[in-house]
Structure 1
Amino acid sequence: MGPDPQAFDLEGETLENESYRTVAWSGKYLQVTLMSIPVGGDIGLEQHPETDQFIRLDSGHGRAQMGPSKDQLTFDEPVTDGWCVLVPAGSWHNVTNVGDQPMQLYTVYAPQHHSPGKVHETKDIAAADTDDEPADWSVQPESAPDRHA
Structure 2
Amino acid sequence: MSLTDHGPNPYVVNIEEATLENSNYRTTLWTGPHMQLTVMSIKPGDDIGLEVHEDHDQFLRIEAGKGRVQMGPAKDQLDFEREVGDDWVVLVPAGSWHNITNIGDEDLKVYSLYAPPEHAHGTVHPTKADDHHDH
1:125 aligns with 2:130: yes
**What is the aligned partner in structure 1 of residue 17 from structure 2?**
12
**What is the aligned partner in structure 2 of residue 98 from structure 1?**
103
1:117 CA displacement: 1.6
1:83 aligns with 2:88: yes
1:125 CA displacement: 1.2
1:126 CA displacement: 1.4
Whole-angstrom CA distance in 1 between matches of 2:94 and 2:124: 25
TM superposition score normalised by structure 2: 0.93
1:114 CA displacement: 1.0
TM superposition score normalised by structure 1: 0.85
Whole-angstrom CA distance in 2 between matches of 1:64 and 1:113: 20
Identity %: 52
1:7 CA displacement: 0.4
Whole-angstrom CA distance in 2 between matches of 1:125 and 1:50: 23
Matched to 2:13, the amino acid is F
**What is the aligned partner in structure 2 of residue 57 from structure 1?**
62
1:66 aligns with 2:101: no
List per-residue Cα deviations over 1:84-137 (Å, max 9, x = no partner).
Answer: 100011100000000000000000000111121221110001127xxxxxxxxx
List per-residue Cα deviations over 1:5-54 (Å, max 9, x = no partner).
Answer: 00011110000100000000011100000000000011110001122100
1:59 CA displacement: 0.2
Q: What SS class does the counterpart of residue 99 from structure 2 fall into?
A: strand
1:110 aligns with 2:115: yes
CA RMSD, 1 decimal: 1.0
Residue correspondences, number: 130
Q: What SS class does the counterpart of residue 3 from structure 1 fall into?
A: coil
Q: What SS class does the counterpart of residue 10 from structure 2 fall into?
A: coil
- The residue correspondences of 1:19-34 to structure 2 (distance < 5 A) are 19-34=24-39
Whole-angstrom CA distance in 2 between matches of 1:2 and 1:33: 11
